[in-house]
Amino acid sequence: MRLNIRKIFGNFLNDTSDKSWLYNFLLELGGLSKFTLQFFRELFRPPYEHKEFLRQAYKIGLSTLPLIGITAFIMGLVLTLQSKPVMENFGAESWLPGMISVSIVREIGPVITALICAGKIGSGIGAELGSMRVTEQIDAMEVSGTNPMNYLVVTRVLSTTFMIPILVLYADAISFYGSYVAVNMHDFISLRLFLNLAFDSLHFYDLIPAMIKTFFFGFAIGIIGCYKGYYSENGTEGVGKAANSAVVISSLVIFIIDLIAVQLADLFNIFLR
């Protein structure tokens, strides 16, 4: 039986010199899984780096606020301008704020914000830890008795896990204002009436699943960025590869998490109704 398997899948099981895509995928998956388990072991092991956690959270939030704010405003503006003619054809202009609010809160806001953070935060973490690895700063921390996993990885992963949901709420609010501006380009509607129409269409089963998955988005961005940077190699070239692969893998994982979250949210809605 073993001979038959090796004969059929010889290219994947034996050809490690050519690094087949399946071999690389399984190697990467195993390394990331082991790194994640190591993170959870260090999470509850003192000392707890509270100051570094707060510094990373402040740094991540402050560095992404302008980019997310501009993107969210344009997102709400464009989505409203594109949807308004269609709603007018059906005589359903009054439903426009509600439709925009549900679209932004449930899908567009969390996913777009997470992708922006994956590009900016994930690449930054990968490049920072990668440069520390190739310049042997992490090795120096290990020799001096400092736990680099606790100080460098745990603090960054926790900061992304808790900051991404806050940034998503900020992006949703800015998107609502962008939608309000777009509606008032052709008609006049007060901000209070617009918000009433928007929030009348929202329910807890729209908000809760959307917020829960943002924690998983933040965790994926942090753990993947730290993993790629922590095990970077081949000098400065490896730093660039670590930052690039952190963005690509994080973006792919965000879509996978979103797909799973949508299926679970549908089951949650059926259960509540």
Residues 142-167: what's their mean pLDDT?
Answer: 91
Q: pLDDT tens digits, residue range 201-255?
A: 888 878 888 899 999 999 999 999 999 999 988 777 888 888 999 999 999 999 9
Of 200 and 270, more confident? 200
CB 159 within 8 A of CB 57: yes
- Average pLDDT across the chain, whole number: 86
Q: Which residues contact 78 (CB under 8 A, 6 or more apart)?
A: 182
What pLDDT was estimated at residue 54? 93
Provide the pLDDT confidence category of residue 264 given band limits of 50, 70 and 90.
Answer: confident
Q: How far apart are the C-alpha atoms of 200 and 239, rounded to whole Å? A: 48
What's the pLDDT at 191? Answer: 87
Mean pLDDT of 31-50: 89
Question: Which amino acid is residue 207, in one-letter code?
Answer: L
The token duo for 235 is 């000098």
The answer to pTM > 0.85 is: yes
The reported pLDDT for the residue numbered 89 is 79
Res 26: pLDDT = 86
Handedness of CA 166, 150, 152, 31 (dihedral sign): negative
Q: Which candidate, 173, 261, 177, 220, places its Cα nearest to that of 39?
A: 220
Higher model confidence: residue 26 or residue 40?
40
- Has residue 82 got a pLDDT over 50? yes
* Banded model confidence at residue 5, pLDDT cuts 50, 70, 90: very low
Q: Tens of pLDDT along 167-211?
A: 999 999 999 999 999 988 877 888 888 889 888 888 887 888 889
Per-residue pLDDT at 83 exceeds 90: no
End-to-end CA distance of the chain: 51
Give the pLDDT of residue 69.
Answer: 94
Residue with tokens 């809160």: 105
> Mean pLDDT over residues 156-164, rounded?
95
Evaluated on CA atoms 259, 168, 105, 272, the torsion sign reads: positive
